[in-house]
Chains A and B, each alone.
Chain A
Amino acid sequence: AIRMTQSPSSLSASTGDRVTITCRASQGVSSYLAWYQQKPGRAPQLLIYAASTLQSGVPSRFSGSGSGTDFTLSIASLQSEDFATYYCQQYYNYPRTFGQGTKVEVK
């Protein structure tokens, strides 16, 4: 199975900050990568697929980049509703696998 490793596991930031989360795959996954946001007590919500395509309805302050083994999720200007946990997921092959998550907390 492809192992997905996110860094950092958690970070503290303030509203208005630019935030970057990294996801690394144990082998190349081309651009077959998605990002999700999960808030406490809620189901995950899709943010980005195909490494950089923003899901309909997701604010443009979110962006994704990368291909192969290294990917990033960026939030241009952190808003209060963005404090949450973020997960990457590869769909290059089965089994589908997720990163361990990155928790974005209030500084």
Chain B
Amino acid sequence: EAQLVESGGGLVQPGGSLRLSCVASGFTFRRYAMSWVRQAPGKGLEWLSGITVSGESTEYADSVKGRFSISRDNLKNTLFLQMNSLRVEDTALYYCAKNLGAGNGWYTSWFDPWGLGTPVTVSS
């Protein structure tokens, strides 16, 4: 059974940085594009970023472009999200998700499964 486990969240001051990790198991990680999605407290879902199987191509939401960077280590079955210049409005639960769809989930992508999420709080 495919499983994703996020870690690395925590409390950080505005302007600070965090690096989130997502360890995958139960499927061949290197064969699937992956994504990060967040959910602010009491709010809806916001897709943040996606990465191809090789890591050569990435996409970002405008809200995080230039501040966040997605990457992956296929040897360690791990997805990363480097978050810089954090803002109060980045406070959320951050999920990683496995992409399904055409092109290993890159050209068309719906998400299954999702991890349980790691919480990020940006506050002074």
Contacts and interface: CB of A to CB of B under 8 A. Distances in A.
Interface of A: 1, 32, 34, 36, 38, 43-46, 49, 55, 87, 89, 91, 94-101
Closest 8 pairs between A and B when the two form their complex, measured CB to CB: A34-B110, A46-B112, A43-B114, A96-B47, A94-B59, A98-B45, A49-B110, A95-B61
22 contacts: A34-B110, A34-B111, A36-B45, A38-B45, A43-B95, A43-B114, A43-B117, A44-B95, A45-B112, A45-B114, A46-B113, A49-B101, A55-B112, A89-B47, A89-B110, A91-B108, A91-B109, A95-B47, A96-B50, A98-B45, A98-B46, A101-B45
Main secondary structure of the interface of B (DSSP, over half): strand
Interface of B: 35, 44-47, 50, 59-62, 95, 100-101, 108-117
A91 B45 contact: no
Given A87-B44, A96-B50, A1 B114 contact: no
Given A38-B45, A45-B112, A95-B62, 7 more contacts: A43-B116, A44-B111, A45-B114, A46-B112, A89-B45, A89-B47, A96-B35
Pick the most buried of A38, A46, A49, A95: most chain B CB atoms within 10 A of its CB: A95
Nearest to B45: A98
B27 to A, nearest CB: 14
